[in-house]
A and B are shown apart, each in its own frame.
Chain A
Amino acid sequence: MTEILIKNGFVFDPLNKINGEKMDIAIKNGKIVESVNEQKAKKIDAAGLTVMPGGVDIHTHIAGGEVNTGRMIRPEDHVKDVVSKTSITRSGTGYSIPSTFVTGYRYAKMGYTTVMNPSMAPLGAKHTHEELNDIPLLDKATFPLLGDWWFVLEHLQRGDLEGCARHVAWMLETTKGYAIKIVNPGGLESWGFGRNVHSIDDTVPNFDITPRDIMCGLAKVNKMLNLPHSIHLHTNNLGIPGNYVTTLETMKALENVPTDGRPTCHITHLQFSSFAGDNWGNMKSAAEEISKYINNHNHITFDMGQIVFTDTTTMTADGPFEFTLYQLSGHKWVNTDVETETSGGIIPMHYKRTSAVNALQWSIGLELALLVEDPWKVFMTTDHPNAGPFFAYPKIMAWLISKKARMATLAKCHKKAQKRSLLPSVKRELSLYELAIVTRAGQAKALGLKNKGHLGVGADADIAIYDINPEKIDVAKKYKTARKAFGNAAYTIKDGKIVVKDGEVVQHTDGKTMWLDVKTAEQLKVDEEMKLKFKKYWTVEYENYPVYDHYVKVPEIISVKASV
C-alpha cells in the first residue's frame, strides 16, 4: 500500500478542533497515521490549499427502485447531460438522476467520499444494494423505511417496544441497512387506500395508532438498540403551507424520549417542513419559529433540503405528498406502493426564481441554516434530487459563506419572495471551519461514523483538497472562486488512493457499503409462526426476502450491542 504525505495545507478538521492550521497529513494503508517515511511516501504539495476531511452527505437519493424508476421515466432529463466513456471511467447520463457511475464520479469531483441513501423499501433492498455496488469512489449506507411497516405498527399498537426493537434489529440486518427511516408516519399506510394523516394525533385507518406513537416508539427503539444514528424523520404534512405547526409539535413530542445526550431525531430536508401561512398564496417562511425552537433544544439535528433553481425530479416514499404535487402540477406522476411496508412517488419539478413559492422555499432553506446558531445541528443537503441535484452543492456553499452571493441570487427572485425573505437581515457568513462542520464533520458525527468526517489518527484516509488559500482570498467576497474550487477538488483521496486530481477522476475504486449488525440479547426467533406471517403479509417467501451477503460487493459490517 502506498504511503502519502500531504504537506503544508491549511487543515480544517472541526472534530479535532483544527481551524486552518498549516500542517501535514500522513496516510498509510488507507488510514490516517501519525507519520510516514518521508523518503518513501508520495508527497502532495498542498501549500496554499485547503485540506478537509472527505465530504459526507447524510441524505441523498442515489440508488434503488424509486431512483431508477425516476431514471426510466425521464429521458428528457438525460439527453441534455451525457458523459462519455474514458479509459478509466464508464459512460452514463445525468442530469437530476444520474446513472450510478456518474453519481460516484460527480460526488468524488466535489471532494465527497461518504453518502447516505436515505430511503429504501425493505422489499426492494436487493435492488438498492445492486445499485450501490455500481456507485464507485464512495462509501455508502442505506436506511430501510420502517415507519409504516406492519410489524412496527402492530408491536407499537400493543405497546410491545422490546418486540418492536427485535424486529427492527432483524430488519436492519436483513436489508443490510444503517438507520431507521420514517417518512410521513401513518400517512403511508393510510395512502394504501388513498388517504393520509393530517396531524401527529390522527388515527391511522385499520391500525389503532397515531403518528406520534410511531415516532416516539421508534425513537425509543432506536435508543434501546444503541444505533449510531438517531431516527431519520420526514415529517407529516411535508410540503403543505402551515406545516411548521406540525413540525414544532413533532419536535415537542420527541422531547419526552429519554436521551443519553445524543440527539433523538434527525429531521430531514427541514425546508419542506417550515412553511407558514395557510395556502400557496399567503405562504410565508417559518424559519424563525423553527430555528428558535432548535436553538433552545438539543435533541434535534436537521439537514437543509436546499432548493436550487433548476429542472429536477422529486422522489419520496411520501406517496400522498407526491399525489398532491401531481394535482398541483399535472406533471407525469409515478406512484409505487409497497406491500406491508411503505409507498412512494415521483414528480418532475422545475424550481423557478420567478415563482414566489419556489423563491420563498429557496430562502427558507438558507434562513434555517443561518439562523440556527450551532453548526453541529445543521447539515447541507438538497435532498438530492428533490430540491436540486447534489452537484449544485458548490452553489449552496457559496450562499452559506457569502452574503454577497445570497443577495445576488435574491435580487433575481420573485418580488414577493424578496419582500418576505429574512435573508437581507441575516448577516452571518459561515467560516470555512463552520462549512467543514455542515458538509462533513457534523454529518459524520450525527451518523455515528467514527472513522469519517475527521483527519485524526486512525480515521479513514478520505480527504478533500481544494484550491482555496484562506490567507490570500476572502471567500465571502470571492465566492465565485470558492464555488469553482468546491466543484473541482484539487485532490480527492479515498481510502488512501488519489481518485480525483484537478477535478478529473484518475482512478477507479469501489467504495464500501456499511451496514449494522445489531446484537440483541434475545434474537428474533424465525419460527414457523413467523414464516406463516411472512406468507400472509408478503408475496415472496421468507427465504427469498433477505439481502444475502453476496449482494454487497465491499461490505463494512458495524456491530452494535443493543440494550435489549
Chain B
Amino acid sequence: MSVINAVTCPICGCLCDDIEVTVVNNEVVKVKNGCAVCEAKYMGYKSEHRIRQPLVRKEGKLVPVSMDEAIHKAAEILANANYPVLYGWSSTNCEAQRVGVELAEEVGGVLDNTAVVCHGPSLMGTQEVGIPTSTLGQIRHRADLIIYWGCDPWSAHPRHLERYTTFTEGRFEDSEWKSYINKVKAVAGKKKLLSAQRVEPHKKPHETVAESLIFNKPPETLQKEGRKLIVVDVRKSMTAEMADYFIQVQPGKDYELMQAIRALIKDEELDVEQVAGVPVDYLREVVDALISCKFGVIFFGMGLTQSAGKFRNIEVAISLIRDLNSRTKFLIMPMRGHFNVSGANIVSAWQTGYAFGVDFSLGYPRYNPGETTSMDVLLRGESDATLVIAADPGATFPKKAIQHMVKHPLIVIDPHLNATAMLGDVVIPSAFVGIEVSGTAYRMDNVPLPLKKVVEPPEGILTDEEILKKILEEVRIIKSKRDEKTEAP
C-alpha cells in the first residue's frame, strides 16, 4: 500500500493539489481531501466505459485492431485531408498539447480547444479591454467582497469557496465559515418555527409570484467588515443559498444590469424603477458595497459567456472592473471548467500567438473567431477530417456541426468510449492524464501545477503525448513518400 500526497486533481479548473490518494496493487482504494467529483473520478476512472484497445470502423462497425494499424490509419486520414480540424485538448496535459500544435501545423489544419464552447468569449472580451486579475491566493489573502456571476461553484467547482475565497483563512481576511454556520442554523430555526405554526414556508398567504422572485432588500451585512458574498444568477443556485445577497437577474439581461451598475458607480441617475428585474434602490446599495470594499472580485461562468451577448457580456463585465479600480481594488476571473483548458490556451498562445481557433491552412497561424474556430469550420461544412482528443464534442456540439463531422473521417483519442468515440472511425484509447500520466496543467488563474501518475495505465495503453508523436511521425513518413512520388518523372 502506498499513500501519495499532494496529488493534483485532474477534474476542474480549481486544480486542487492537496489530494491524498491511497493505492493498493495499482488500484486507487481511497481518496482524501477531494470533493465528491474528485472522489468519483479517482474511484471510477476504470469503469466499464474505458476503451481497452484501439478500434477502427470496418463495414460500419468498430472492430479491435492493433495499435500500429490504428496509428497508421489516423495518420493516413490526416495526411490526406485538405482541411482537418484538430479539436479538444482541454483534458490532457501541456506536453500532449505541445505535440498537438506541431501536428496541426504539419497537416495544415485547424487547432481548436474547448474554449470555443465555454470561455472563448472571455478570451475575446480580454482582447477588447484586457483583464485585471490575479492568482487565487491573492483573493484568499485580501478579498473582502466576492461575487459569483453566472456560475455555481458549489456544484461545478465544489472546493472553490473553501480553498480560494469565502471560506478560507487569508493573511488580511478571515474565513466566513462560522457566520455561514450561524446563518444555516438561523434558517433551520426559522423553518422549525414555521412548521410549529403549521405554515408551510412556500405557501405563505398573500405572497404573489412577483414577490417570490425575491427582492429582499440588501441586508445590513453587505456594508459590514469582513468577507461578503454576493451571487448574481438567473436562478437561486446552491451557491446563492449561502450568499449574503442574491441578485436574481432576468435571463439574458446581465449586460443591462452591468451597464446600470457602471452608471451608478459614476454617480449617474437612472430614471427607471428597476433594471433586469432588480429595483434600482437596491442596486444603489449594492454599488455602495462595491465601492466601499477594500478588495473585490467577480468570478464569472458560462451564465455570462454563453448567454445572449456572449463576449460583449464579458467586455462589459471587465469594463465594470476597470471603472471600479478608480475607486478601489477590484479584479475579475473566469471560472474555467476543464482542468487544463487554460493550459490548452496557454500552449497554443506561446507557440502560435493565439489561444484558440488557430487555422494553419495557409502555412502560418491565423485566428479570426467567426471564421477559423472548429465550430465555424464545421458549421460551414468545410472540413474533411476531424481529430478529437480529450473532449467530447459529440455530446456538446450543435447537431449540425456533428452531422458534418461524421460525414468525414473522425479520429478519437480518449480513455473512455464517450459519445464522440462511438461516432469515430478510428478510436485510440489513451491513458488517464493526472491518474495514469504525469505532466503539467494550468489552473483557472494560469498557475502551472504538476500532475502526478499514481497508478500504471492498463497494459498496452499509451499516453496522449506518445500517441500524437507516433501519428506525427507517421504523417511525415506518408507525406515524404507522397512528395517522392510526385517528384519522380
Contacts and interface: CB of A to CB of B under 8 A. Distances in A.
Contact of A130 (B94, B163, B164): B94
B166 to A, nearest CB: 14
A323 B130 CA distance: 12
Interface stretch (B47-55, B181-189, B200-208, B357-365): B357-365
Contacts of B365: 78, 82, 91-93, 99
**Secondary structure at chain B's binding surface: helix, strand, loop or mixed?**
mixed
Contact of A339 (B126, B130, B131, B138): B138
Given A75-B354, A93-B353, A540-B449, A333 B132 contact: yes
Contacts of A448: none
Nearest to A345: B132
Contacts of A327: 326
Interface string B130-173: 11111111101110000000000000000000011000010110
B68 to A, nearest CB: 27
Nearest to B98: A134
B135 A130 contact: no
Contacts of B142: 192-193
Nearest to B351: A99
A83 to B, nearest CB: 6
Given A68-B350, A71-B353, A92-B352, A332 B130 contact: yes
B77 interface: no
19 contacts: A69-B446, A71-B353, A75-B127, A75-B367, A78-B353, A78-B365, A91-B364, A99-B350, A123-B135, A192-B329, A193-B329, A332-B129, A334-B126, A334-B132, A335-B331, A336-B135, A539-B140, A540-B447, A544-B450
Contacts of A99: 349-353, 365
A333 B129 contact: yes
Given A92-B352, A123-B447, A193-B295, A339 B331 contact: no
A68 B123 CA distance: 13
Contacts of A544: 6, 8, 17, 449-450
Contact of B132 (A101, A127, A335): A335
B133 A68 contact: no
B453 interface: no
A542 B329 CA distance: 29
Contacts of A77: 353
Given A99-B349, A544-B8, 5 more contacts: A90-B102, A93-B364, A193-B329, A323-B325, A539-B164
Nearest to B139: A339
Interface string A110-130: 000000000000011011001
B137 A539 contact: yes
B442 A127 contact: yes
Interface string A60-90: 0001010011011111011100111100001
A83 B325 contact: no
Contacts of B163: 539
B350 A134 contact: yes
Interface string B260-287: 0000000000000000000000000000
Given A333-B132, A541-B18, A90 B440 contact: no
B140 A339 contact: yes
Interface in A521-564: 536-544, 548
Contact of B350 (A71, A206, A347): A71
Most A-side CB within 10 Å, residue of B128, B354, B360, B448: B448
